[in-house]
Amino acid sequence: MASKKISFDPQTDGSTLRRIVLGILILVGVGFLLNATLMRIDAGHVGIKVKLAGSARGVQDMPVVTGWVFYNPLTEQIVAFPISVQNVVWTSVT
C-alpha cells in the first residue's frame, strides 16, 4: 500500500486566514456603510429630505413616502413627521 503524504505549508494557510479576515472586515465595513446611509420611514409617517450643502440646498419638493430611503449623511438629512389624524370631541360640562 502506498501511503499518502500530507504536507503542511504555512504560507498557504496564512493566506487563507488573511482572505477570511479580509472578507469579514469588508462585510463589517459594508454593514456600517449601509447603517449610516439607509433609513426606514414607517407607516403613518412622511419623510422630508433636506439638502445641507450645494447650490440646491434646502427642503426637497417631493416628500419621501414610507419605505427604505438611501441618502448621503454628509450632505443630506431625513426628518420624519407623523401624519396620523386624531379626532378630539370637546364637550361642555355645565
Nearest-angstrom CA–CA distance, 76 and 50: 6
pLDDT in tens, 65-94: 889 999 988 899 999 999 888 888 888 876
Check pLDDT > 60 for residue 29: yes
Provide the number of structural domains found in the chain. Answer: 1
pTM surpassing 0.75?
no
Q: Which domain holds residue 62?
A: 12-82
- Where do we find the cell 472586515? 25
In a domain, 50, yes or no: yes
In a domain, 5, yes or no: no
Nearest-angstrom CA–CA distance, 28 and 16: 19
